[in-house]
Amino acid sequence: MFLPKGITSRRFLSSSLTRSSKQIKQKQPFLFSGSRTSPQHGFQQPPLQAGFPFVKIFKYALGATVFGTIATGAFLVYKIYQEGQPVDQVPQAPFFPDGQKRKTLVILGSGWGSIPLLKNLDTTKYNVVIVSPRNYFLFTPLLPSLPTGTVETRSIIEPVRSITRRTPGEVIYLEAEATGIDPLKNELTLKQSTTVHSGHSGKDTTSSKSTVAEYTGVEEITTTLNYDYLVVGVGAQPSTFGIPGVAEHSTFLKEISDASTIRRKLHDIIEAANLLPKDDPERKRLLQVVVCGGGPTGVETAGEIQDYIDQDLAKWIPEVQGELKVTLIEALPNVLNSFNQKLVDYTKQVFQDTNINLLTNTMVKKVDDKTVICSHKNPDGSTSKLEVPYGVLIWATGNATRSFTRDLMSKIEDQKNAKRGLLIDEFLKVDGSDNIYALGDCTFSKYPPTAQVAFQQGEYLAKLFDKIHEVESLKYQIQHPAQNQKVESLTRKLDRVEKNLPKFKYNYQGALAYIGSEKAVADLVWGNWSNITSGGGFTFLFWRSAYIYMCLSVKNQVLVCLDWVKVWMFGRDCSKE
């Protein structure tokens, strides 16, 4: 072998092996890891991975999802624990530490106006007493879901005592009904009726004879209660509009007991119809469910019942499939009359697709035990008599004043011309009174009788009573000035506060309604300049999300979600109770 001058064979072999080793080291990363060695700089580049940005984004998204899930779960556990623990409250007292009298504020009712007032009020500034014969708050937007079992009763109620034990100041709850009032003496008359049961039903399963007699009686306790300020939030009762037979033969949908009655009647007519042959006219009549009222409550009730028929009863009671029908009667030309016309038309189309019989321009004139007798307005303007047979009749329209509201109106001079509710001013104060306020459905004003209005009125009154307490505190300080306290500055401050007392301003946020078949309509307001209307499956998800958000407590939110998941997984059962 020829070697250049000065290079020995050992040196040549050594240099050759060194170069070969370097070449292998340079090629190995390229062959196996996809990296290369820079010949100019002599350093190894980091390995390149296919789709590197997407992998990084996925890792971040997965981490954020896991963290968010854990954080949300921890927050829910904390809120549920917090709601389940009563707080330390400032006890009620006749006077404040500085000697000022602590006024007594009495709140009547446990509905959409009274409960937001109680939750937002600084209860350390008053001796607060809440009076209601119903010892829970009912989330009425989901009431149409109760008869079909879409949600359970306990999921949409919140006990009043749970609310009163979470306020900063002590609140006294009295389960009673206000039956009378003396505005001159600032005195209420309360009555509490207790049903007393002795023994059981008297039926012995092993014998046809009754072994234990049942005694049912009613014990009444009547008392009086004085107040310095009174808030009337007793709501309204269903109105029959004086139509003969409505009170005797229909079922209202106002309370939980009404929903239970509707469910029992619905299954009663199914089981009764199953005893009759298919060609029997009485069977056809029994399997007719009629809902009167084309507002949100009536529309949602009809939609929920039709869902129950199509998704559950048709599967478990196939004998009545195709025979059990739902009819909705509305006196006006359209259902959901306050909604955008496009949503009204969409609702009609969904009803047509789901076989809900819609009768508009149809006014109920009389109801007997088997038939709804109506006057139907024809397209040419003429009217015709229409008889609608029914097995179950649900009345979901109209409000009427309660007896306490009428009693109060009769005892205040400025209220004697009021017919449909208490007349109130811009501060929600009852006309003709200095210390009585009213909110919600028991009032008659320019605002619609909706839960949205009552809720905002309750929040407003909580702020107003804070300002009223500030005014009274300033007046007391002016009359009993402390050392080095300037009366002139207190007087100027008092004038400013009295002049700037806020007036109630209603902020309309829109309306929602479920129309069946997992579809809903939404007529919303975005700020002061834009209306948003939508309908369909996506709106149904928004409808559910909005109602979850509106639930009074985290417990209710969780329970309602679990009810919906349960129905999605297992369906609704077909038991009577």
Q: Average of pLDDT values for 538-544?
A: 96
Position 84 confidence tier, pLDDT thresholds 50, 70, 90: confident
Q: Go through 146-166 and write b for each residue having 16 or more CB atoms within 10 A of its CB, e for each that does not.
A: bbbbbbeeebbbbebebbbeb
Quick one: pLDDT at residue 28?
A: 46
Distance, in Å, from the CA atom of 79 to the CA atom of 394, rounded to the nearest integer, reads 38
Quick one: pLDDT at residue 33?
A: 41
Distance, in Å, from the CA atom of 131 to the CA atom of 109, rounded to the nearest integer, reads 6
Position 62 confidence tier, pLDDT thresholds 50, 70, 90: confident
Task: Give me the sheet containing 519-526, strands edge to edge.
Answer: 510-516, 519-526, 530-536
Q: Average of pLDDT values for 148-162?
A: 96
Helices (H) and strands (E) in the chain, counts: 15, 23
Q: Mean pLDDT score of the chain, rounded to an integer?
A: 88
Q: Average of pLDDT values for 368-391?
A: 96
Quick one: pLDDT at residue 25?
A: 46
Quick one: pLDDT at residue 231?
A: 98
Quick one: pLDDT at residue 14?
A: 47
Position 85 confidence tier, pLDDT thresholds 50, 70, 90: confident
DSSP 8-state symbol, 207? B
Task: Give me the sheet containing 436-438, strands edge to edge.
Answer: 171-174, 127-131, 104-108, 229-232, 436-438
Q: Average of pLDDT values for 192-215?
A: 57
Tokens 């048709």 map to which residue? 314
Quick one: pLDDT at residue 18?
A: 46
Position 371 confidence tier, pLDDT thresholds 50, 70, 90: very high
**Dihedral through CA 401, CA 405, CA 410, CA 416, nearest 10?**
-60
Share of the chain above pLDDT 90, in %: 73
Give 167-180 pLDDT, tens digit per residue: 999 999 999 999 99
Q: Is 267 exposed, middle or buried (0-12, 13-18, 19+ CB in 10 A)?
A: middle
* Rg from Cα positions in the chain: 35
Say which range, 55-64, 74-83, 110-119, 265-274, has the weakest mean pLDDT: 74-83
Quick one: pLDDT at residue 198?
A: 56
* Dihedral sign computed on CA atoms, order 399, 443, 543, 566: negative
Cα–Cα nearest to 568, from 300, 256, 312, 320: 312
Q: Is 108 exposed, middle or buried (0-12, 13-18, 19+ CB in 10 A)?
A: buried
Q: Go through 68-78 and write b for each residue having 16 or more CB atoms within 10 A of its CB, e for each that does not.
A: eeeeeeeeeee
Tokens 């049961």 map to which residue? 197
DSSP 8-state symbol, 313? I
- 289: number of Cβ within 10 Å: 26
With a CB cutoff of 8 Å and minimum separation 6, the contacts of 528 are: none
Quick one: pLDDT at residue 86?
A: 85
Q: Average of pLDDT values for 73-100?
A: 86
Give 274-292 pLDDT, tens digit per residue: 999 999 999 999 999 999 9
Q: Are 137 and 294 in contact (CB under 8 A)?
A: no
Position 2 confidence tier, pLDDT thresholds 50, 70, 90: very low
pTM of the shown model: 0.84
Quick one: pLDDT at residue 216?
A: 60
Quick one: pLDDT at residue 31?
A: 40
Question: Residue 210: pLDDT above 60?
Answer: no
Say which range, 26-30, 62-66, 177-181, 569-573, has the weakest mean pLDDT: 26-30
Q: Are 235 and 249 in contact (CB under 8 A)?
A: no
Quick one: pLDDT at residue 36?
A: 44
Q: Which helix (H) or strand (E) holds 479?
A: helix 451-479
Cα–Cα nearest to 224, from 186, 192, 190: 190
Quick one: pLDDT at residue 50?
A: 52
Give 37-60 pLDDT, tens digit per residue: 444 455 555 555 555 677 888 888
What CA–CA distances, in Å, run from 290 to 247, 283, 419, 424? 15, 15, 30, 37
Quick one: pLDDT at residue 27?
A: 44
Position 79 confidence tier, pLDDT thresholds 50, 70, 90: confident
Question: Residue 193: pLDDT above 50?
Answer: yes
Structure tokens, 389: 């047979």
Q: DSSP of 55-96, one letter per residue?
A: HHHHHHHHHHHHHHHHHHHHHHHHHHHHHTSPPP-BPP-SB-
Residue 219 φ then ψ, to 5°? -105, 130
Q: Average of pLDDT values for 19-45?
A: 46
Quick one: pLDDT at residue 214?
A: 55
Quick one: pLDDT at residue 87?
A: 84
With a CB cutoff of 8 Å and minimum separation 6, the contacts of 561 are: 548
